[in-house]
Amino acid sequence: MDDDKKEVSERILSNLKKIQESKGGRCEGCGYESRDADFFECEFCGGQLCTYCDNMTDDFKFICRECIKSMDLTVNDLQFEVDGAGRSFF
């Protein structure tokens, strides 16, 4: 496995471990409350994300709405157009 793929794989596994360790409650990032929500951090600003408000860049980094807006990203830069609660990112 080349270094770039290994780095991405390690980052994804690290984030999946963080998701596994925290479940349920109200998201500080979007305010959505759910018993099955998983929580983790935006890889750009460190803000809280949940499984209902997260998005990912094309290089598989978790990103929040605020960073999407501040970086002027478009649908072509991200993995999803809507979040897990059906809210549009754009």
pLDDT at 3 > cutoff 90: no
Mind spelling out the 3-state secondary structure of the chain? CCHHHHHHHHHHHHHHHHHHHCEEEECCCCCCEEEEEEEEECCCCCCEEECCCCEEECCCCEECHHHHHHCCCCHHHECCCECCCCCECC
pLDDT in tens, 13-72: 888 887 666 678 889 888 988 888 888 899 999 999 998 999 999 888 999 999 999 999
How many angstroms separate the CA atoms of 54 and 65, rounded?
8
pLDDT at position 20: 67
pTM over 0.75: no
